[in-house]
Amino acid sequence: MPIIPYLFFFFFHDSFIVPFLPLLSHRPLTPQPFPPSKTSVNDEGLILILLRCVNLTWLKLRGCREITEAGMAAVGKNCKALKKLSCASCLFSIKGINAVVSRCQGLEELFVKRLRGAHNGEEVVGSGTTSVTSVCLKEIDDTLEKIGNLHAALVDVHLENIQVSDVGLVGLSKCLSLDTLHIVTIAECSNVGLNLVAENCRMLRKLHVDGWRTNRIGDDDLISVAKQCINLQEMRRHPLS
């Protein structure tokens, strides 16, 4: 089976992708985005691709509005070698991320941004393409807890515009190889969770804290991180207090 290192999916329709599947055996695919009005690749098209790319190590999904939790479950089932997962402006919920995280224990990098589906009880809400819903606090915290309990080899984590609390940071604190942590526009985390990350993730080199409005992390907390993480090379905080 040929090794396909990475795939980027933007606004492609599966009818466009499928005829080119044989080419995936020879080179990586880096498609340019179609206008947002186009329909995107769906679960069926994604599964057809995954069946031919079992050695996939990097998957980036952007604006793929027709991929659901079922499609993400197929990623977890077929791509055991996955090391990097990036999802932005998609309609599936954090449940879809869970389906990959729980199966791809070699995952190293996880980037989640603007997921428009939020799981509430047994139903997925916010299925309309124009309605942006906030991600359920419990769900993203559960995801990070699951990562920690699996002792995943995560090294780079970006959390942006989603609800994460100290519970989620406790999960991340179990990822001892953590190298880079970006926390952007997230107000539910405090110095308690960040201190736990600092105490356990001694390999941390980069810390970015952006969009803090509740002042739950102060200068003393950042100084504490710097003292505990002796490998720290870069620390950014915006806005400055």
DSSP element (H, E) containing 180: strand 180-184
120 forms beta bridges with 123
In CATH terms, 6-238 corresponds, of 3.60.70.12, 3.90.1580.10, 3.80.10.10, 3.40.50.720, to 3.80.10.10
Reported as a single tens digit per residue, the pLDDT across 61-87 is 888 888 999 999 999 999 888 888 888
Rounded Cα distance between 137 and 48, Å, is 33
Rounded Cα distance between 96 and 129, Å, is 17
Domain residues of the chain, as ranges?
A: 6-238
Mean pLDDT lowest for which of 125-134, 152-161, 189-198? 125-134
Q: What is the pTM of this model?
A: 0.59
The conformation of residue 136, written as its DSSP 8-state character, comes to: P
DSSP element (H, E) containing 58: strand 58-62
Reported as a single tens digit per residue, the pLDDT across 27-46 is 444 333 445 445 678 899 88
